Amino acid sequence: MFDFPSRYLSTATATLTEPDGRVLVYLKRRFVPPAEAFSVVGSLAISQGDRLDLIAAKALGASELFWLLCDANRAMNPRDLIPAQPTGKKLNIPTPQPQDIIPGIYGGNS
């Protein structure tokens, strides 16, 4: 259903059969792991004009892994990580886990 490296890659799907017989496929809820569950390899001071996709590309090897930065820093909205004005805020850089970077592992779609 989702392509690599979507944060929903390993999220299970379920079905619901409507009274008229139509079968609807939906995504089960994805629970964000607690920030403490991530192995943090470093941190980065955020500067005005920084972009989360570029930080992810440099730190994690793929801009599409920006969601790992969100999860590791308790941000539901990626915009919450990059303030409009410089604040000296530090962004934790997590170590990607195999299920985050390898399509099909741990129940993900291949």
What's the CA gap between 26 and 11, in Å, rounded?
10
Residue 69 predicted with pLDDT over 60: yes
pLDDT exceeds 70 at position 66: yes
Judge contact between 9 and 98, C-beta under 8 A: no
Integer Cα distance of 23 and 38 in angstroms: 37
pTM: 0.67
Segment 55-64, tens digit of pLDDT: 999 888 888 8
